[in-house]
Structure 1
Amino acid sequence: MYDNYEKRLCLFLDILGFSSLVKTMECSTVHEVVSDIKHTLKSNKEFMSKIGSEPIATTFSDCIVLSIATKESYVESAANILVTATVRMLQDTYLNQSIALRGGMSYGELYHARDAVFGPAMIRAYELESQFADWPRVIFDKTVIDHLSNKGGLLSIGFTDYGDGFWGVDCLNRVEDILNVEVHNLFDSDVARAALEKLCQIRDITQNKLTGSYGNPKVYSKYLKLDARIYSLMKKFGQVPALFE
């Protein structure tokens, strides 16, 4: 049967430190890590029924490609659910397994089936990941941004203007969204306290990553940029002791 490109929303992810993961863990453990990431990304069935499309996920080496077929008129809705799932996955994977990911998201022509995945949308998503997502974050191509009516965020998740020409999400967006609301109540709620605790946990994991990557400037620089993002949030929400201001 002759196959054509489809219009698909494409997420390309790279697992940072995957080589070390493979060297230090059993095959079954590595497989479980990758499977958990894919499952989290594919877990929201409610939206899929609305657009009539199931996500397809393909793994090769240290990369995961996930895509959803969607018409132009549904790109914003598709991006909403995919970004929301991505943010949840980025945070949970970092907090629970200390595994960081980076990636790119684009929209365009793509062939994605069991036997292969290729096309302009994947090439662009890969370029974003490999050339510009220089620390653990997922950045959006203009083909995604152009379909978003509210440039301040999606329906269920905010995203970040990183100030370097890219917008995207990272393992801190869920925490930031909660604290942006709870700051008005002076963080006097269980939800706020849980979010602040997660922020501190992410900081501690990142500090350990920095210590562990001593002598490897390429990896160290990635976590240093994530650390700067963490510090900016802690300062924004008044969690930096005066001594360190």
Structure 2
Amino acid sequence: MNIEGYENRFVAFLDILGFKELIYKIESEGKESSDFKRVRSVLNFLHEESIESNGQHDLPIYEHKEDHILEKELGDPRISYISDCIIISAESSFDGFKSLCNKLTKFSTDIACDGIFMRGAVTHGKIYHHGPMLFGSAYQKAYELESEKAKHPRIIIDDIVFDVLESNLGKFPLNEHAITKVANDFSYLANFPLNYHPQYTPSWLDFLLRIKSRILYHLNVFDSRVSGFGQELRNLDRFCCWKEVYGWELCFDGGNDSVLKKYEWLKDEFNSTLKRYSEFLSVSEGDEYWGGVKEGMRILPIHWNGIIWAPEKELGRIR
């Protein structure tokens, strides 16, 4: 193809889960609720990133000019978004794929702290992506993969990506620390990669604790076995701070089995992350007392305790 600006690139299509229901809820409330503030915060973040990145977690490169040094992002990432959909493309190289994975993880981890999760797909192919102008078969394929194959709160990687980058297999992020491969299923980006967290969370542990509270909220909201806002839930809210994020009039009546499955899958991903990286989340030998934890893990998995979804047990102020 000999059309200027029409090129092979890696392309990702992302969708914000539950966005339509959030909008209906905001409009029914008719005021600046916690949900409205969360949606505005997330969309403001995406808007600012589509214009100029805030620099956190970016992969800068520097190009010498005659009288100055130009700073650019590795892999030439380009971002477009409208409402609950985000499209990101990057150059057709290993550096481009690195940049794309980095940007996707930056987005997904940041908005997850607001209790909002993403689903998406990454592919490779022809696209025209310049400013607001966006079209091409790669964009269409990424959209179809997300809507038909992603299923869970994850970002799947099309098999064609591994074919294009065959000579780089085993190098980060094309290895098991960044990408999970499930037999007879698509590969997908790690939801909670080791030591990757937004700048406003002081550590990876603090990030995991915040994400844990968000997952617990969705599990209890969508599980029909949970109702009202009983003592167990009130006790848990002291740790999770749900009222600050989701509104002060909490009620867990209702349930939705199809949505619950998505968060059960995310819960399993979270628990697997804790198990896999337990050595980084345990109290060290020289740390005799850490926030109420004298030994073992500083954070424990999520489980069903017979009444609600909760931590396996309390660990002082850290669970």
Confirm whether residue 160 of structure 1 aligns to residue 179 of structure 2.
Answer: yes
Residues 192-234 of structure 1 deviation map (CA, whole Å, 9 limit, x = unaligned): x932332232222101011222322222111110001111122
Displacement of 1:110: 0.9
TM-score where L is the length of structure 1:
0.75
- Residue 29 of structure 1, CA deviation: 6.4
Q: 1:51 to 1:153 in 2, by over 3 A?
A: closer
User: Given residue 188 of structure 2, which amino acid in structure 1 is its aligned partner?
Assistant: G
- TM-score normalised per structure 2: 0.59
Rg larger in structure: 2
Q: Which has the higher contact order (CA 8 A, sep 6+)?
A: 1
Q: In the alignment, what sits opposite 1:7?
A: 8
Cα distance in structure 2, aligned partners of 1:101 and 1:173: 15
Match in the other structure for 1:17? 18
Alignment pair present for 1:229 and 2:263: no
- Is 1:60 paired with 2:82? yes
**Gap change, CA 1:118 and 1:107, over 3 Å in 2:** same
Conserved? CA contact 1:160–1:169, under 8 Å: yes
CA distance in 1, matches of 2:125, 2:99: 17
Per-residue deviation, residues 108-144 of structure 1 (Å, max 9, x unmatched): 1012244542222112211221122222111111222
Aligned residues between the structures: 222
Distance 2:176 2:100 in 1: 10
In 2, the alpha carbon distance for the partners of 1:208 and 1:29 equals: 15
Structure 1's unaligned 5+ residue stretches are 179-192
Contact 1:57–1:65 under 8 Å retained in 2: yes
Could you tell me which residue of structure 2 aligns to residue 105 of structure 1? 122
Correspondence 1:107-146 to 2 at 5 A: 107-114=124-131, 116-146=133-163
Between the aligned residues of both structures, percent identity stands at 28
RMSD, aligned CA = 3.4
CA contact (8 A) 2:75 2:97 kept: no
Letter in 1 for 2:84: D
Paired residues of 1:102 and 1:129 also in contact (CA < 8 A): yes
Worse overlay, 149-158 or 208-217 = 149-158
Superposition deviation, residue 45 in structure 1: 6.8
| Structure 2: gaps spanning 5 or more residues | 62-70, 224-254, 279-296, 302-310, 313-319
Tell me the CA shift for residue 152 of structure 1: 5.6
Higher helix share: 1
Contact 1:140 1:166 in 2 (8 A): yes
Q: In the aligned structure 1, how far is the partner of 2:103 from the partner of 2:131? A: 22
